[in-house]
Amino acid sequence: MPLRFTLRCALFATVLFSMAGCAAAPINKPINLGPTETGAGSLVAARKYLEGRWQLESFEVYPAGKPKVTLTGQGVLTYDEFSNLRIEIRTDQATSNLLRDSGIEVGGDGVISSDGRAAVDLQNKTLTYVVQGQAVGSGPLALNRPRHWQVEGNILTLTTQDDAGKPTSVGRWKKL
């Protein structure tokens, strides 16, 4: 009997000793999704193309039930490597008044701006602001509406659409 007890204790000690030598491994192992596409037509290429500063060429707003408003002024669009998108447009007083009458929020000094992170959707060709803790606004320039993008050479066209798919704003930007 004491021999069996001694053998069991020895076996138990051996198991404990061997388990103590094992290193802990992560429970959630990373999943290999394959190489990231970086060529033409890839998300990486689209983001790289958007990076930098863009100068406003033209901007039209189509308020519901009102005539088109063509902005007179200057603007800059900036997109950085962290997907931050900032648009700032400075309009003259007459254009600011027309926009305010159409329900668009314009700063006292005629500035229309939007700032935040933007998600790029290649399939739908849209840029969508990722808004956390900010008011998204309403109307033709609401931040929760995706900006449909089209590229022709060094001209980027961003179009915001209403629920029916009709344009509510069209901005054309030239890369600097």
Look at residue 22 and tell me whether its pLDDT is greater than 60: no
Looking at per-residue pLDDT, the higher value among 137 and 161 belongs to 161
6 inside domain: no
Closest CA to 65 of 156, 135, 168: 168
How far apart CA 112 and CA 86 sit, in angstroms, is 11
Kindly state whether residue 53 falls inside one of the protein's structural domains: yes
Instruction: Give one DSSP letter per residue of 15-32, joined into a string.
Output: HHHHHHTSPP--SSPPP-
Total residues belonging to the chain:
176
Looking at residue 122, which CATH number applies to its domain? 2.40.128.50
Cα 114 from chain centre: 12
In this structure, is residue 36 part of a structural domain?
A: no
Is residue 7 one of the residues assigned to a domain? no
pTM assigned to the model: 0.73
Q: How far apart are CA 45 and CA 50, in angstroms?
A: 9
Residue 27 lies in a domain: no
22 vs 49, residue with greater confidence: 49
pLDDT at residue 38, as a whole number: 61
Q: Indicate whether 9 pLDDT > 80.
A: no
Tell me the C-alpha distance between 162 and 29, whole Å: 43
Does some domain include residue 161? yes
Segment 121-137 shows an average pLDDT of 78
What is residue 12's predicted lDDT score, i.e. its pLDDT? Answer: 66
Range of the domain at 153: 43-175
Whether residue 24 is contained in a domain is answered as no
Structure-token pair, residue 25: 């491994």
Domain count, the chain: 1
**Chain segment 26-72, per-residue pLDDT in tens:** 666 666 554 556 667 788 888 888 999 999 999 999 988 888 999 98
β-strand partners of 128: 119
168 occurs within a structural domain: yes
Confidence at residue 56, expressed as pLDDT on a 0 to 100 scale = 97
